[in-house]
Structure 1
Amino acid sequence: MDPLSLSARDLAAALRHRRISAREVLEAHFARIDAVNPTVNAVVTQVREQAHAQALAADEHAAVTAPEDLPPMHGIPMTHKDTHATAGIRTTSGSPIFADLVPRDTDVVIERFQRAGVISTGKNNVPEFAAGSHTYNEVFGTTLNPYDLSRSAGGSSGGAAVTLATRIQPLADGSDMGGSLRNPAAFNNVVGFRASPGVVPNVPGRDPRAWLGQKGAMARSVEDVILAMSVIAGPDSRSPVWCPTLAGAFSSLLAEEVGRPLAGVRVAVTTDFGLDVPVEGEVAGVVLREAEVLAELGASVVPACPRLRDADRVFEATRAFDMALSLREVVAGHPGQVKDEVIWNVERGVALTAEDLMEVAVARGRLDQEIGRFFGTDGADPSGGGAKGGTGYDVLLAPTTQLVPFPAEWTWPQEVAGERMGTYVEWMRSATLISATGCPAISVPGGFTAAGLPVGLQFVGAPGRDVDLLRVARAYDEATRHAERAPAV
């Protein structure tokens, strides 16, 4: 049995029923890191001695425990995102300032994976302070795309996405403010899911009510993402944010048969988000081609998009505020040691006025109303007509990224589809516009360009309807299985 070829769900079953040991899986995990990591530079910290001790303990526990009494991810090894605190394991955030930091606390998303039986083996590369969607920093260098080693792996969960694509591990944790789960998933032919606010609590953190940045899961299939969500979702007493979807709802979804579930599902499809967002022609072509697959699965697919004219303002101001809250002291205390893009974002946050924040609050209210209209959660006709009794579009289908993976030596794309980009986040609008809505969104492999570069499809659902969104995304994923095409690394 090759454990690296198994899905997370199948690997968990094999471990629970002792068809393979946790030590054997761990050895294969580290052997794969040794084989591919010198080429792609995805894993930046390893704790092999600690992991081997945990694998031995896991096997000893399994020897005296019934399979059904073992935790759901018993013995599965995972490296974690280097911005997620891990007690006793170096967490650098890709910054020279914190190159030797070993936290005493652990982020809740990793706590929950560990409680479910995951063996933590190290950390994955990130951009400095997770700023931007290209994974490079002065501490560890650049992570490369395994489908084309001259290209970007995306970010900020770029290292995580590459560990999945190269079969180092079947699951990964990540986070997403402006696309940091979705963009690298698209660039690496894997799945990245950004849940509704509150589904995975943002604790510990400076602002437990923060809603724009969300922690989440990545995998090589939607089904394995659902498995991960069944472990990491749920409320936390430290978080004041309401959790709209409990872990049990994801467990129930895993038990459903896929079959042909899209009859009656209404899918809206857009390539420019109704705002003339520049998207490369080959990327847009893949989105339109794969929309036909959804129609073949029984969905009703029509061109449509919510009115997102307030989304840019909401995203830009909220991101600036959140980054200033988190990093202003670091920037002030370490002049010349933080990259320019982070300084720019922090300065924008510090410069926000009360009037700015009031205008953004009103804009967010309008955006919330528009999302309710579009998905029918406010009882209005999504086409703009009269009351519809709560019906509307079920899913919005759009590009995850506006372009294919770009050259790894770039800091960020200066141009997309012939249009100049003014900032390091502007080329990510296909993701940031959706972040501003608070909607759950998932990037699913949609196929490849003629040159063999991956393209991701972004499925978006109504806030709080994460399970309904994942049901549709899983049906598409099961029908196409694009992620089974592995890179040649």
Structure 2
Amino acid sequence: MPDLEPAADGDAERPQDLGDLVHLEARQLSALIRDRRISCVEVMESYLEHIDRHNPRVNAIVSIRPRDELLAEAGERDRQLRDGDRRGWMHGFPHAVKDLAAARGIRHTAGSVIHRDRVADTDDLFVQRIRAAGAIIIGKTNTPEFGLGSQTYNPVFGTTATPYDTDRTAGGSSGGAAAAVALRMLPVADGSDYMGSLRNPAAFCNVYGLRPSIGRVPNRAGFVAQLSAIGPMARSVTDLALLLSTQAGPDPYTPLGPHTPLGLDSDPARSAGRLDRDFRGTKIAYVGDWDGYLAFEPGVLEVVETALGEFEALGARVDRVLPAFDPARLFQLFLRWRWWAQTGNAELYDDPATRDLLKPELRWEIEHGLRLTARDITEAVAERQAWYAAVVDLQRNYDYIIAPSAQVFPFDKTVHWPTMIDGRPMDTYHRWMETVAPWSLSGCPVAGVPAGFGDSGLPTGIQIVGRAGQDLAVLQLAHAYHRRTRWPQRRPPPGLAG
């Protein structure tokens, strides 16, 4: 794997107050460490003090390792630098891994009391890559139980709040990651996304999240193109691209063959390619509420549609246009794929000792999955192919598709999920975030970017959908948008300086 470097304009001066280190973008922090203008120990101390001050407000980082161990590892990183042994662009970075993934020597609970005491003895592949790039794993970021639902609460660690109103949810399932990045408790964060788990919390926390193309970052999908994807979160698109370039790349071979037969065999450095690009003449399709099919909390669409003007200011043309596919069919298709995926937890359901420890939503998913027939799955595969064909047909005339990232603003964190939006009932625990499901099913790359704030002061976001495999093109448009808006820097969380 190449030693990817931050962009040339990522340099920054050593701050007089080391508490300001946490406010630097990851590329700037990397340059300071690389040039030994700041030590890894100073970085770790600054971040740990910042975490001590702010994490209790949001409960984003969990299973934090002992301070003396982390400072000792930071000291070793400094010794490596003195010896000319720089591991990569994340050398000396504090990093917390989403608690759905395994990180060696750290609890791996998946937010479930069933796994409360489980400690990982290996790293997942993307975690290996983050360590190899020089990061120090300080702990985990909080997630819903087994990652289900876009509300980060579980019986092991409790609930994660958005730093924009700590009485409200950070979203999920990468809610801990999003809140930690927004509050400057991590330079960047990893997340995963099945139904918007990188995009919805990015919207609720005013940061960036990228769901890559299928296969860009290897996971455990095997021979089936399931919907889960691993991706980065950050406060700038440059940082997003840098972390993606670390996570991405083909899975190495073992004596039994490749781990991920659907993985993309491409140079991960391409993900951090040149982001500057001219967008004059670019054509964008805006799907909005699908002609009223989707319910939205009042104010959300107004923020999203105001943000469309930023793309027009870049020289793009934005048209209101929809794929030629019934959105009601799409959600039924999503449900079948979700049910099928959750049968992987059937062993826990079969055992009476663990069944009652599962959240009701997971039991509901498994019960429906166990009733699926081979014909149901065959039809679902055909339906997904038909949906992808409709997306490709729209993309023949449009370079990008834009959609809202969320149908509501961040809601009361004591509420498990919204049962009503603008007077319309939500009949499942994930119906309220239906806006993200079509793009998960497409397998296309999708960036979740901040859209701005409603009258209540709460954030929301938009999705930028690109053509299959064209992750860099999505990052380029997101980067151009970020340079105009800079929402994470313009509107940091209240109380951040306190």
Q: TM-score, normalised by structure 1?
A: 0.92
Is residue 240 of structure 2 the alignment partner of residue 225 of structure 1? Answer: yes
SS in structure 1 at match of 2:181: helix
Select the residue among 246, 260, 285 that pairs with 1:239: 260
Q: 1:311 Cα shift?
A: 2.5
Query: CA 1:125/1:482 → structure 2, altered by over 3 Å: closer, same or farther?
Result: same
Query: What does residue range 186-201 of structure 1 map to in structure 2 within 5 Å?
Result: 186-201=203-218
Select the residue among 11, 17, 35 that pairs with 2:29: 11
Contact residue 143 and residue 159 of structure 1 kept, 8 A: yes
Residue identity in the other structure for 2:195: G
Match of 2:393 in 1: 373
Q: Deviations over 1:330-358 (max 9, x none)?
A: 22221211110000001111111112112
Match of 1:53 in 2: 72
What CA distance in whole angstroms lies between the structure 2 residues aligned with 1:481 and 1:122?
29
Residue identity in the other structure for 2:297: E
Contact residue 232 and residue 244 of structure 2 kept, 8 A: yes
Select the residue among 392, 412, 435 that pairs with 1:430: 435
Contact residue 273 and residue 472 of structure 2 kept, 8 A: no
Q: 1:244 Cα shift?
A: 6.5
Is residue 199 of structure 2 the alignment partner of residue 182 of structure 1? Answer: yes
Contact residue 113 and residue 231 of structure 1 kept, 8 A: yes
Match of 1:468 in 2: 473
Match of 2:11 in 1: none
Q: Deviations over 1:245-267 (max 9, x none)?
A: 531211323xx435xx2112111
Match of 2:337 in 1: 318
Moved over 6 A (4+): none
Q: 1:476 Cα shift?
A: 0.4
Is residue 367 of structure 2 the alignment partner of residue 347 of structure 1? Answer: yes
Is residue 493 of structure 2 the alignment partner of residue 487 of structure 1? Answer: yes
SS in structure 1 at match of 2:171: coil
Residue identity in the other structure for 1:397: I
What CA distance in whole angstroms lies between the structure 1 residues aligned with 2:286 and 2:40?
44
Match of 1:251 in 2: 272
Q: Deviations over 1:76-105 (max 9, x none)?
A: 111111111111111110011111100112
Taking only the aligned residue pairs, the percentage that are identical comes to 39
Q: 1:475 Cα shift?
A: 0.4
Q: 1:208 Cα shift?
A: 5.8
What CA distance in whole angstroms lies between the structure 2 residues aligned with 1:332 and 1:370?
39
Match of 2:10 in 1: none
Contact residue 222 and residue 444 of structure 1 kept, 8 A: no
Query: CA 1:246/1:416 → structure 2, altered by over 3 Å: closer, same or farther?
Result: farther
Is residue 303 of structure 2 the alignment partner of residue 286 of structure 1? Answer: yes
Q: Deviations over 1:353-409 (max 9, x none)?
A: 112112112211211211111112xxxxxxxxxxxxxxx211111110001001111
Contact residue 250 and residue 264 of structure 2 kept, 8 A: yes
* Structure 2: gaps (5+ residues): 1-14, 252-257
What CA distance in whole angstroms lies between the structure 1 residues aligned with 2:236 and 2:325?
29
What CA distance in whole angstroms lies between the structure 1 residues aligned with 2:265 and 2:322?
24
Contact residue 304 and residue 452 of structure 2 kept, 8 A: no
What CA distance in whole angstroms lies between the structure 1 residues aligned with 2:249 and 2:151?
30
Query: CA 1:112/1:274 → structure 2, altered by over 3 Å: closer, same or farther?
Result: farther
Q: Which moved more, 1:49-58 or 1:428-437?
A: 49-58
Select the residue among 376, 380, 385 that pairs with 1:360: 380
Query: What does residue range 15-30 of structure 1 map to in structure 2 within 5 Å?
Result: 15-30=33-48
Q: TM-score, normalised by structure 2?
A: 0.91
Q: 1:242 Cα shift?
A: 3.7
Match of 1:85 in 2: 102
Match of 1:477 in 2: 482
The two structures, once aligned, show a CA RMSD in angstroms of: 1.5
Contact residue 313 and residue 363 of structure 1 kept, 8 A: no
What CA distance in whole angstroms lies between the structure 2 residues aligned with 1:244 and 1:419?
45
Match of 1:384 in 2: none
Contact residue 241 and residue 272 of structure 2 kept, 8 A: yes
SS in structure 2 at match of 1:10: helix
Select the residue among 442, 449, 462 that pairs with 1:444: 449
Q: 1:274 Cα shift?
A: 4.8
Match of 1:386 in 2: none
Contact residue 222 and residue 474 of structure 1 kept, 8 A: yes
Q: Give the number of aligned pairs.
A: 465
Match of 1:332 in 2: 350
Q: 1:308 Cα shift?
A: 4.0
Match of 2:180 in 1: 163
Match of 1:113 in 2: 130
Contact residue 278 and residue 417 of structure 1 kept, 8 A: yes
Match of 1:393 in 2: 398
SS in structure 1 at match of 2:276: coil
Q: Deviations over 1:47-93 (max 9, x none)?
A: 13432232111100101217xx5412111111111111111111110
Q: 1:24 Cα shift?
A: 0.7
What CA distance in whole angstroms lies between the structure 1 residues aligned with 2:414 and 2:334?
27
* Structure 1: gaps (5+ residues): 377-391
SS in structure 1 at match of 2:452: strand
SS in structure 1 at match of 2:442: coil
